[in-house]
Amino acid sequence: MVITGVARSSSPGGLNSVIAAVSAGLAHHDEQPDLQAIFEREVQRALAIRTVRLREIPARYRARLVTPTRTSDSVVLGVPTAHPNVQAVLEASSGPDRSLGAADHEMLAAAAQLGGLVLALARTRTCRRVTDDGAAPLIGSSAAMQRLRERVERVALTGFTALIEGESGTGKELVARQLHELSGRAAGPFVAVNCAAVVESLLEAELFGIEDRTATGVKGRPGKFESADAGTLFLDEVSDLSVSAQAKLLRAIQEVAVERVGGTGSRRVDTRIIVATNRPLAGLVAQGLFRADLYYRLGGVEVHVPPLRERREDIGELTTYFLNRHRQTRELVISVAALEALRAYDWPGNVRELERLIESAIALAESDRIELDDLPPRVRGEYGEVLGHSLADGHSMRAWGSRYAKLVFERCGRNKRQACRRLDLSYHTLQAYLRFADATAAGSEKQLPAWVKSARQDEMLEKARA
């Protein structure tokens, strides 16, 4: 009976059932089933054995690497992987009441080759799920964000060192995490280091590790390079490294090896390096503040993260995202006027500043709706002073247009020809707007914004001098 079972399970039909089950799992896009678990279950069922396990072993666990073996009741087979420094194995055991024959070993060898494809498919689906679920969210539908996503996807497919440049608060670490999650190193660790926060005297031990008993009471530990083996090391604010620290980093990148503090030999590492800076490195090189040879090692594959003011159309989507993320704390919506004020603001702190502002509004808003008055004065700015005032008083389009023309006229240094070019109006139309603004302001001087009062007083003084 055992022999019959072996012969039947080892037939091509048994492996076909494994392929069919994995294919069915791929077709379930909504449920996202575990392809690895499906593969293990179907191989176990086809061979009628006790256990089947398909797993990857990252290079950081070199001491635990499994040597392929073959006995009468168990087998460990190598599985092909896309990354040369990540070992994958297929382990199977039959149990005490059944022995593995030649046909079983033959089918398990074929299953091991199929297991490599299963692991690659599982990693691809994991990366896609991370992107769709927003684990590394790049929120926005603007053209700038679409270009950023396309560049991230291209760069992620390579193993090259990448340089991410962008202002503070734009989301450079999110971009780095997505580069990791979409790469072939997604199964490995993502280790982030803020170079600006590490004391220079401890930087070498932090990055490269330190040997045991190097100093009194010091215990040996691996550095960030070793911790990121088979994964990605993210060095944030790399422009803040001192010149001596830059030299040590350059050596580690060139030799693809690190030497622990107090050590006598180097250790090879397999780590992809992604660096980020809020200051253009090329400019720092020109000023002599950053090593040119290190810049050439880090640069080349560059990703620029645009500031929020260059993608204002994404502000509404970002605001909705932050409100939904804190919905359990308090459920709020934002008014049209408040949202327009957010779009008009320049956001020197970028997305980080917007996130903190929404958190403040959630904590302090007096109703279930974020109004213009709930925003801080720096954000309301001229929007609240000009447009917000007109909305509150129900001004007509002509009245609001006159007030806007007056504002542009004031900003142009009271130069009417320059204001005409800015507003794309004829000289006589601008004159009409200004006269209307003066006429409507005559009876409500106390309610006028400061810029209108200033412009009107200057006009009166000019007429008096004339």
Q: Indicate the range of 28-37, 375-384, 410-419 predicted with least confidence.
A: 28-37
Residue 140 in domain: no
Do 346 and 425 lie in one domain? The reply is no
Q: Which pair of structure tokens corresponds to residue 402?
A: 């006159």
159 domain-assigned:
yes
Is residue 141 one of the residues assigned to a domain?
A: no
Lowest mean pLDDT among 57-61, 400-404, 416-420, 447-451: 447-451
Higher pLDDT, 372 or 26: 372
In a domain, 135, yes or no: no
pLDDT tens-digit readout, 116-149: 888 887 766 654 444 443 334 688 889 999 999 9
The single residue listed with the structure tokens 């720092």 is 284
> Do 321 and 292 share a structural domain?
no
Residues 205, 316 contacting (CB under 8 angstroms): no
Here the CATH number for the domain that contains residue 190 is 3.40.50.300
Residues 291 and 319 in one domain: no
Query: What three-state secondary structure class fits 422?
Result: helix
- Min mean pLDDT across 32-41, 89-98, 457-466 is at 457-466
Domain total in the chain: 4
Rg, the chain, Cα only = 32
For residues 344, 328, 125, 270, the Cα torsion angle rounded to the nearest 10 degrees is 80
Q: Clarify whether residues 161 and 237 are in a common domain.
A: yes
β-strands 209-210, 257-258 pairing? unpaired
What mean pLDDT do residues 377-394 have?
Answer: 70
What pLDDT sits at residue 131? 42
Q: What is the pLDDT of residues 331-385, one digit of tens each?
A: 899 998 899 889 989 999 999 999 999 999 999 988 889 988 889 988 887 666 6
Give the per-residue pLDDT at 274: 94
CB 90 within 8 A of CB 53: yes
Do 254 and 202 belong together in one domain?
Answer: yes
214-243 burial, b if ≥16 CB within 10 A, otherwise e?
Answer: eeeeeeeebbbbbbbbbbbbbbbbbbbbee
Same domain? 150 vs 259:
yes
Q: What is the pLDDT of residue 382?
A: 65
In whole angstroms, give the CA distance from residue 254 to residue 161: 12
Check pLDDT > 50 for residue 54.
yes
pTM for the complete prediction? 0.61
Does residue 331 fall inside a structural domain? yes
Q: Quick check: 238 and 277 in contact, CB under 8 A?
A: yes
What percent of the chain lies above the pLDDT cut of 70? 79
Residue 390 falls within a domain, yes or no?
no
| Of residues 190, 207, 279, the one with CA closest to residue 249 | 207
Among 306, 338, 356, the domain boundary falls at 306
Does one domain contain both 164 and 301?
A: yes
Do 422 and 360 fall within a single domain? no
**Residue-wise burial string across 128-158, b where 16 or more C-beta atoms lie within 10 A, e elsewhere:** eebbeeeebbbbbebebbeebeebbeebbee
Burial of 291-310, coded b for 16+ CB within 10 Å and e otherwise, reads: beebbebbbebebbbbbbee
pLDDT of 29 > 70? The answer is: no
Q: Where is the domain boundary, 247, 278, 306?
A: 306
In a domain, 415, yes or no: yes
Say whether both 249 and 326 belong to one domain: no
- Measure Cα distances from 361 to 163, 342, 347, 382 in Å: 35, 12, 16, 20
Same domain, 314 and 294: no
Q: Which residues contact 48 (CB under 8 A, 6 or more apart)?
A: 5, 9, 98
- If you average pLDDT over residues 151-173, what whole number do you get? 92
Q: Which residue has 């917000």 as its token pair?
A: 388
**pLDDT score recorded for residue 299:** 84
**276-329 tens-digit pLDDT:** 999 999 999 999 889 999 999 998 899 999 999 999 999 999 999 999 888 888
Q: Which of 130, 159, 185 is the last residue of a domain?
A: 130
For residues 239 and 300, membership in a common domain is answered with: yes
Domain of 411, in residue numbers? 395-466
Q: Is there a domain that residue 136 lies in? A: no
Higher per-residue confidence, 123 vs 414: 414
One domain for residues 96 and 234: no
Could you give the CA distance from residue 293 to residue 299 in angstroms, rounded to a whole number?
Answer: 10
- Tell me, what CATH number does 367's domain have? 1.10.8.60
- Tell which wins on pLDDT, 400 or 83: 400
